[in-house]
């Protein structure tokens, strides 16, 4: 158990480094809107890894810990979405 | 203290006023981490700022008593309505109920000895006091008092010569205080509930404050960053809101209202919580629809965060956005109405005792309903074109903020006064004061609705003669309202000085704060209580 | 009265504070997305001018510092305060390195006359002015968070060395870790938004 946790951290770090490598090399290709989407998805995966392993969200119990991030993401999405209902249709 | 129950009755624990801490005198207050003392510290400052802002309101009304009345210069008038708004909104109404009564009573009502983070609680008060000091300081710096209106709209706030950066920095600090208070209240509610105090045994005041605290945590940072950008823009000219550099002033308005509309719910939700406390106690009935009221608080907090665009119907935002925001605005009326119906249903066939707290709570329902319904009228797109930026809007939000939150505050003060101070005020005199206040309130604000309907724009320094009569009536109303306020607070001060000693449970309430001595001992509970029933189950 | 200690409570409090931090940056993301939507070509051109190599390097530094703080917490829980302190020191070093590189980047940009309100920048298209306005305010605010984090980390280092933080009481260090990871996450988004999407 002890060493496993240790190893998990290093594996997560390795994954983060690899994902960084992928985004940087992806950025060279010109895929238009798709490249924005890919870059953002990779950033989301990276932060998901940091949140669940480094920040221990995966190991916390309780409804509050499960709901926190979805609540914030929902708030942010709705704020941006409603702002775009103006910006994109003006 | 002792095993002997009789002895405990004879020598009750010393009240928190007599507590001997590390410090003496004023330091025993401003360095105390006791949630009750911090609550009273907020009460002191907030009442001070309130009286300043009322005075500014009085000056504004006096200026408008007749067309061309030569009381002050236009620039002075701009400064005064700006200050009236900033002080009332940021310094008084937003913190009032959560910071005073939330601090004092939320821990007691859930059976805790203090907040989760007592030191951060004290820090919040210090941030509040410093933020307020900075806002006041900005009046005396070069350029004179701020004249932007409390909304600090760009690009004017980027161009005006007055010291906007300092003022918004003050508000930024106030925001930090508000966020930390929110963090404290949420954590306390999650972690410090006494054994048996399940979520559905929480008093509804706790639900109201809890929902508010979430809005404080999630919405306040948005205005924080907006004001930070105003500062950066003024000092470095980054151009994010300046149309000359490609910035979009409408995005300033979006960011501003993403916080400032939910702020209205920061004001009103705790007041609704107070009303939900008072009504069952004075009708001797369990609350009707506990869960509906509890969840409608959460619903108001969430849907209320999605309606900010209705402040921008005539700003040039897209028609599509206006339609969506108008729809959402109508939606938020539903949970508010649920609350009103449940309160009325609680009163129905109760044995009602019309004591001052109930009187103020009922006034809340009446005035809040007027405020809410006028809000629906101006929430309709076509009507809004006519009413936007007129006195109608001024009347509407005073019915909500003063009629709603203000009367909710007075209900809370008169309900919990005996518990906070251990003294009782003269109830008959309170009712006299209420009559004056209620009449003055309606004479002051109702004419504004008509004025706005007739086309009188808000924030104007002067007006043509046809509007004279209604403005005159409104100004006279302001005098009556101030007389009522003085009467009510004078009566409370009299009660404080020579009122009778209050009983521990003068209203026969069933929630936990009424089961401990008045005023409460330092650690609230000798032993943490084990809760076996709901907050409104009267014997 | 006995002083009451609630580790879970402290952690919840920290998380709630971090949520409000997310929305603090959230306000800037609202601005970024709106302005990017309105000026896609200007944003595309301006992004080319940022140094992608330095940006990538800084990303790797922050990711590694996240690992080192996690290991520091791991070792303090195991009772190995020496290793814990060492990893904290590494975190602080990486944080300083990050700010150093940021400093080099900013001075290079300023040296090219590209800073807010500069005559050269004002001569460009409006979208580019906005891009650099957002670039300076967002990376600036992030840098400020790194700086504050460095002070907190140094305080933690002192506490670990004094033994005030040990295998029985490590919540302050855990909370510092949470803060540091959040700063990392913000950068994980800032990096592609400013350096990569072109």
CA B183 and chain centroid, separation: 18
Instruction: Please list every residue in chain C whose beta carbon sits closer than 8 Å to the beta carbon of residue A36.
Output: 197
Looking at residue B90, its pLDDT comes to 96
Is B340 in contact with B365 (CB distance < 8 Å)? yes
- C44 has a chain A CB within 8 A of its CB: no
Interchain CB distance below 8 Å, C78 and A2: yes
pLDDT at residue B375, as a whole number? 94
CA distance A76 to B86: 27
**What distances in angstroms separate CA C110 from CA B8, C42, C77, C103, one per listed residue?**
73, 19, 45, 10
pLDDT average, residue stretch B49-58: 97
Whether A34 contacts chain C with CB within 8 A: no
CB contacts of B183 in chain A (<8 Å) are none
Distance CA B362, CA B351 (A): 15
Res. A89: pLDDT tops 50: yes
**Interface with chain A: mutation pick from B320, B323, B326, highest number of A CBs within 10 Å:** B320
Chains with 3+ CB–CB pairs under 8 A to C are A, B
Q: In chain A, which residue's Cα lies nearest the Cα of B215? A: A75
> What is the model's pLDDT at position B12?
57
Mutate which: A24, A31, A57, vs C, most C CBs within 10 A: A24
State residue A1's pLDDT score.
43
Is A63 an 8 Å CB contact of chain B?
A: no
C148: contact with A, CB 8 A cutoff: no
- Examine the pLDDT at B225 and tell me if it is beyond 80: yes
Residue span of the structural domain in which B276 resides: 5-515
- B22 burial (CB, 10 Å; 0-12 / 13-18 / 19+) is exposed
For chain C, give every domain's residue range: 9-196
Q: What token pair was written down for C196?
A: 């990569």
Cα separation of B435 and B439, whole Å?
A: 6
Within an 8 Å CB–CB cutoff, is residue A64 touching chain B?
A: yes
Give the residue numbers in C contacting B (CB under 8 Å), as ranges: 1, 4, 6, 8-10, 12-13, 16-17, 19-21, 23-28, 30-31, 34-35, 38-39, 116-117, 122, 125-127, 129-130, 132-134, 136-137, 141
User: pLDDT at position A34, please?
Assistant: 81
What is residue B24's predicted lDDT score, i.e. its pLDDT?
A: 85
CATH 1.20.120.80 fits C9-196, yes or no: yes
Number of other residues whose CB lies within 10 A of the CB of residue B108: 24
Once rounded to an integer, what is the mean pLDDT over residues C162-187?
A: 95
Residues 6+ apart with CB under 8 A from C35: B240, B246, B248, B251, C43, C127, C130, C131, C134
Q: Which of B327, B340, B325 is nearest to B370 (CA)?
A: B340
Tell me the nearest-neighbour CA distance from C166 into chain A, angstroms: 17
Q: What is the pLDDT of residues B258-315, one digit of tens each?
A: 999 999 999 999 999 999 999 999 999 999 999 999 999 999 999 999 999 999 999 9
| A11, pLDDT greater than 60 | yes
Residue B508: both structure tokens together: 């026969």
- Cα–Cα distances (Å) from C102 to B98, B297, C142, C147, in that order, read 41, 45, 11, 12
pLDDT number for residue A33: 76
Cα–Cα distance measured from residue B113 to residue B191, given in angstroms and rounded to the nearest whole number: 12
Q: What pLDDT does B22 receive?
A: 83
Cβ–Cβ gap A82/B316 under 8 Å: no
Q: According to the model, what pLDDT value does residue B25 have?
A: 87
**Minimum distance, in Å, between the CA of residue B179 and any CA atom of chain C:** 8
More confident of the two residues A61 and B128: B128
For residue B395, give both structure tokens: 């009347």
pLDDT > 50? residue B56: yes
Using an 8 Å CB-CB cutoff, list chain A residues near C34.
83-84, 87
For B1, the closest chain C residue by CA position comes to C1
User: With bands split at pLDDT 50, 70 and 90, how would you rate the model's confidence at A16?
Assistant: very high
Which of B123, B273, B107, B120 lies closest to B191, judged by CA? B107
Output the pLDDT for position A6: 84
Distance from CA of C123 to the nearest CA of A (A): 25
pLDDT of residue C2: 42
Whole-number Å distance between alpha carbons of A29 and B100: 58
Number of B to C CB contacts under 8 A, please give it.
114
Q: Is B78 exposed, middle or buried (0-12, 13-18, 19+ CB in 10 A)?
A: buried
Kindly indicate the confidence band of residue C175, based on its pLDDT and cuts at 50, 70 and 90.
very high
pLDDT at B9 over 50: no
Confidence of residue A3 (pLDDT cuts 50, 70, 90): low
Higher pLDDT, residue B519 or B19: B519
pLDDT at residue B37 is higher than 50? yes
pLDDT at residue A18 above 50? yes
Give the pLDDT confidence score for residue C186 in this predicted structure.
Answer: 97
Cross-strand partners of B501? B423
Q: Do C26 and A64 touch (CB under 8 A)?
A: no
pLDDT for res B20: 80
Identify the CA nearest to B478 among candidates B447, B503, B453, B499.
Answer: B447
B169, part of any domain: yes
At B3, the pLDDT band (50, 70, 90 cuts) reads very low
A8 CB burial (10 A radius; 0-12, 13-18, 19+): middle
Mean pLDDT of C136-151: 97
- Confidence bin at C1 (pLDDT 50/70/90): very low
The answer, yes or no, to whether residue C73 has pLDDT greater than 60, is: yes
Sequential DSSP letters for B271-304: HHHHHHHHHHHHHTSPPTTHHHHHHHHHHHHHHG
pLDDT digits (tens, 9 = 90+) for B86-123: 999 999 999 999 999 999 999 999 999 999 999 999 99
Tens-place pLDDT, residues B160-176? 989 999 999 999 999 99
Residues C97-122 have a mean pLDDT of 94
For residue C4, the model assigns a pLDDT of 63
Judged by a CB distance cut-off of 8 A, whether residue A87 touches chain B is yes
Q: Is the Cβ pair B318, A82 closer than 8 Å? A: no
Of A13, A55, A71, the CB nearest to C181: A55
The number of domains in chain B is: 1
Average pLDDT in chain C: 94
Nearest CA in chain A to B313: A86
Distance CA(B8)–CA(B116), nearest Å, equals: 28
**B218·C4 Cβ contact <8 A:** no
Return the pLDDT at A35. 80
Averaged pLDDT for residues B361-372: 96
C185 vs A71: CB contact, 8 Å cut-off?
A: no
Based on the number of CB atoms within 10 Å of its own CB, is A33 exposed (0-12), middle (13-18) or buried (19 or more)?
A: exposed
Binary contact (B320, A86; C-beta < 8 A): yes
Q: Which residue of A12, A46, A76 is in closest CB contact with C23?
A: A76
Residue B128 lies in a domain: yes
Position B8 confidence tier, pLDDT thresholds 50, 70, 90: very low
pLDDT in tens, B434-462: 999 999 999 999 999 999 999 999 999 99
Q: What is the pLDDT of residue C3?
A: 53
pLDDT digits (tens, 9 = 90+) for B180-224: 999 999 999 999 999 999 999 999 999 999 999 999 999 999 999
**What is the average per-residue pLDDT within C51-79?**
95
Distance CA B361, CA B415 (A): 10
CA dist B192 → B37, B128, C6, C49 (Å): 19, 25, 9, 53
Percent of chain B residues topping a pLDDT of 70:
97
Residue C184 has pLDDT above 70, yes or no: yes
CB contact under 8 A, B246 and C127: yes
Residue B385 lies in a domain: yes
B238 touches chain C (CB under 8 A): yes
pLDDT over 50 (residue B6): no
| Max Cα distance, chain B (Å) | 78
Q: Give the residue, A31 or B339, on which the prediction is more confident.
A: B339
CA distance B447 to B496: 36
On whether any CB of chain A is under 8 Å from the CB of C29, the answer is yes
Is B258–A79 a contact, with Cβ atoms under 8 angstroms apart? yes
């Amino acid at each position: 158990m002890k060493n496993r946790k240790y190893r998990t951290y290093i594996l997560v770090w390795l994954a983060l480094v690899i994902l960084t490598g992928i985004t940087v090399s992806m950025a060279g290709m010109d895929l238009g809107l798709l490249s924005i989407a890919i870059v953002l998805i990779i950033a989301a995966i990276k932060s998901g890894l940091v949140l669940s392993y480094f920040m221990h969200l995966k190991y916390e119990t309780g409804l509050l810990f499960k709901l926190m991030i979805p609540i914030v993401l929902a708030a942010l999405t709705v704020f941006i979405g409603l702002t775009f209902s103006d910006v994109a249709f003006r | 203290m002792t095993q002997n129950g009789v002895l405990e009755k004879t020598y009750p624990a010393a009240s928190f006023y007599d507590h001997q801490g590390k410090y003496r005198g004023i330091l025993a207050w401003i360095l105390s981490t006791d949630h009750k003392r911090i609550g009273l510290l907020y009460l002191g400052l907030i009442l001070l700022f309130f009286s300043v802002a009322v005075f500014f309101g009085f000056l504004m009304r006096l200026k408008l008593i007749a067309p061309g009345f030569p009381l002050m210069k236009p620039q002075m008038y701009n400064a005064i309505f700006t200050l009236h708004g900033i002080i009332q909104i940021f310094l008084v109404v937003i913190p009032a109920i959560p910071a005073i009564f939330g601090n004092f009573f939320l821990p007691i009502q859930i059976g805790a000895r203090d907040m989760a983070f007592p030191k951060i609680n004290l820090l919040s008060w210090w941030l509040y006091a410093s933020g307020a000091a900075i806002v006041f300081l900005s009046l005396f710096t070069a350029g004179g008092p701020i004249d932007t209106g409390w909304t600090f709209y760009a690009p004017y706030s980027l161009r005006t010569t007055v010291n906007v950066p300092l003022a918004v920095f003050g508000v930024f600090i106030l925001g930090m205080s508000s966020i930390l208070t929110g963090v404290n209240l949420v954590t306390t509610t999650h972690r410090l509930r006494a054994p048996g105090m399940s979520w559905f045994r929480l008093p509804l005041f706790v639900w109201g404050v809890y929902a508010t605290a979430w809005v404080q945590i999630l919405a306040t940072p948005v205005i924080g960053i907006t004001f930070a950008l105003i500062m950066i823009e003024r000092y470095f000219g980054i151009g994010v809101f300046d149309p000359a550099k490609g910035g979009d002033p409408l995005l300033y308005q979006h960011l501003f209202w993403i916080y400032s509309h939910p702020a209205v719910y920061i004001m009103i939700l705790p007041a609704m919580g107070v009303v939900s406390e008072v009504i069952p106690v004075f009708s001797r009935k369990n609350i009707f629809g506990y869960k509906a009221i509890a969840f409608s608080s959460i619903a108001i907090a969430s849907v209320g965060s999605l309606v900010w665009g209705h402040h921008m119907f005539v700003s040039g935002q897209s028609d599509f956005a206006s339609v969506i925001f108008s729809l959402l605005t109508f939606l938020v009326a539903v949970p508010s109405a649920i609350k009103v119906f449940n309160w009325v249903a609680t009163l129905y066939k109760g044995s009602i005792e019309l004591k001052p707290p109930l009187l103020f709570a009922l006034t809340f329902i009446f005035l809040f309903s007027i405020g809410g319904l006028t809000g629906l009228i101006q929430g309709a797109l076509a009507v809004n074109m006519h009413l936007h930026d007129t006195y109608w809007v001024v009347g509407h939000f005073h019915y909500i903020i003063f009629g709603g939150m203000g009367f909710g505050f007075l209900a809370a003060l008169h309900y919990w006064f005996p518990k906070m101070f251990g003294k009782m005020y003269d109830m008959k005199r309170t009712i006299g004061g209420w009559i004056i206040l209620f009449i003055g309130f309606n004479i002051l604000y109702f004419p504004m609705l008509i004025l706005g309907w007739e086309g009188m724009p808000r924030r104007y320094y002067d007006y043509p003669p046809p509007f004279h009569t209604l403005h005159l009536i409104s100004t006279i109303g302001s005098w009556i309202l101030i007389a009522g306020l003085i009467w009510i607070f004078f009566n409370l001060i009299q009660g404080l000085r020579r009122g009778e000693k209050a009983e521990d449970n003068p209203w026969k309430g069933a929630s936990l704060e009424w089961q401990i001595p008045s005023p409460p001992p330092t650690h609230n509970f000798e032993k943490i209580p084990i809760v076996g029933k709901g907050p409104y189950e009267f014997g | 009265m006995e002083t009451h200690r609630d580790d879970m409570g402290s952690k919840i409090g920290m998380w709630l504070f971090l949520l409000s931090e997310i929305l603090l940056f959230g306000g800037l993301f609202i601005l970024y997305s709106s302005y990017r939507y309105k000026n896609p070509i200007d944003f595309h051109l301006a992004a080319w001018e940022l140094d992608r190599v330095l940006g990538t390097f800084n990303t790797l530094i922050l990711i590694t510092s996240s690992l080192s703080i996690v290991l520091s917490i791991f070792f303090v829980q195991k009772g190995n305060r020496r290793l814990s302190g060492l990893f904290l020191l590494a975190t602080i070093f990486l944080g300083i390195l990050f700010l150093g590189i940021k400093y080099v980047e900013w001075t290079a940009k300023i040296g090219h006359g590209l800073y807010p309100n500069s005559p050269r920048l004002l001569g460009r298209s409006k979208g580019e002015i906005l891009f650099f306005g957002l670039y300076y305010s967002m990376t600036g605010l992030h840098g400020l968070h790194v700086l504050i984090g460095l002070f907190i980390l140094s305080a933690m280092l002192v506490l670990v060395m004094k033994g005030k933080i040990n295998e029985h009481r490590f919540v302050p260090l855990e909370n510092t870790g949470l803060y540091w990871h959040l700063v990392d996450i913000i950068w994980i988004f800032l990096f592609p938004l400013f350096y990569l999407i072109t």
